[in-house]
Amino acid sequence: MSNFRRFLIEFSYNGARFSGVAKQTNNPNTVHNVIHDNLKNTLVNSYDVKSDIRISSRTDAGVHALLNTAHFDLLKLDDLDDQDLCKNIKNSLNTIFIDKKILIRVLNCREVDPRFVSRHAKSRTYLYRLGYLNNGPMYSKELETIRKIDRCLERDSFNFSLPYLFPLSGFLSILDADCVTELREPFNRDLFFKALELFNVEKDFSAFTTKQARDEMVAKNKNPIKKVELIYRTNNTQFLSDYLHSYHEKYEIIELEIKSTSFLYRMIRKMVGAASDVARGLIPIEQINHMLNNPEKYYFTNLTSVMKPNGLFLKNVEYDEEKLKFEKSK
């Protein structure tokens, strides 16, 4: 057993290029499968990968990572010097990813205590980049006309026509196409921020996930109570905004940072979707409090939106440094 060694890697990826992170037996194009298969090929002569890699945070398809983590165990097969093993793992994997045009990069590799588990993180922080037209030139002139059209046609909301007449993606830079989730007009920015503040709590978030995730939560005795810390920044701009055509200048980016020990499946996308629905006048702001205080009443309803994943990034996975310390046996 002394030949077994455990390693932790930190890595980033473009989630738009993968079918999610989690292992899938019938789909090789997941972050887990790509890293695991190439790791085995990299170490084939000197080491055996003795366990599946254990990724700390299983993001959905389309969600990116600035930093995710995983641990794995290796069994040494020869007596060659491995002083630079961590460096070699990092460089070898990155060389393969670059050659194969795979949008994953290993940021760091370190040996850790054999008892360390990557999923036992102190906290996880997500970044959500949201875009909207700030008094867009078309909207300011045509908004009232669209209201009248939808009222005459007895539609529930003029949101029915607006996205088709003026798609927001037309104003979004192609450089941010995979990195921003768009907020549909009409959009009350102040009400959106007020709704977001309601999530700065320690509550049962089980109304902000799926039925399948709730069933798994019950089966595995997982705790739906999460302490969430959420902050937002405004007046941000698109990537390389100083060099973009004036066509894009009315598009503004809001950045949310959302931190907790862990998150339920689709929890962030449902939280922000609910706040967006409040800002668009689709639900009253009081409903968010009701969903947090009486989640079981909302288990079988789909009253709130699920935001798209393309603006969501796993920003950081934090551990207690003491748990990461490793001392080589003499």
pLDDT of residue 133: 74
Decide if 71 contacts 8 (C-beta within 8 A): yes
Give Cβ neighbours of residue 3 (< 8 Å, ≥ 6 apart).
Answer: 75, 76
Q: Indicate the pLDDT class of residue 135, thresholds 50, 70 and 90.
A: low
Rounded CA-CA distance 107/147 in Å is: 50
Q: What is the pLDDT of residues 99-115, one digit of tens each?
A: 999 999 999 999 999 99
DSSP character string of 279-314 = HTTSS-THHHHHHHHSGGGGTT---S----STTEEE
pLDDT of residue 14: 96
Element (H or E) spanning 259, and its range?
Answer: strand 251-260
Collapsing DSSP to helix, strand or coil, 7 comes out as strand
User: Has 277 been annotated as catalytic?
Assistant: no
Domains, the chain, ordered by start: 4-120 (3.30.70.580), 124-136+170-315 (3.30.70.660)
Q: How many residues does the chain have?
A: 330
Selecting among 37, 48, 52, 60, the annotated active-site residue is: 60
Q: Indicate the pLDDT class of residue 84, thresholds 50, 70 and 90.
A: confident
Give the pTM: 0.86
Which CA distances in Å does 123 have to 20, 229, 258?
21, 11, 10
Question: Prior bond to 224 cis, omega within 30?
Answer: no
Parallel, antiparallel or unpaired: strands 123-133 and 181-182? parallel
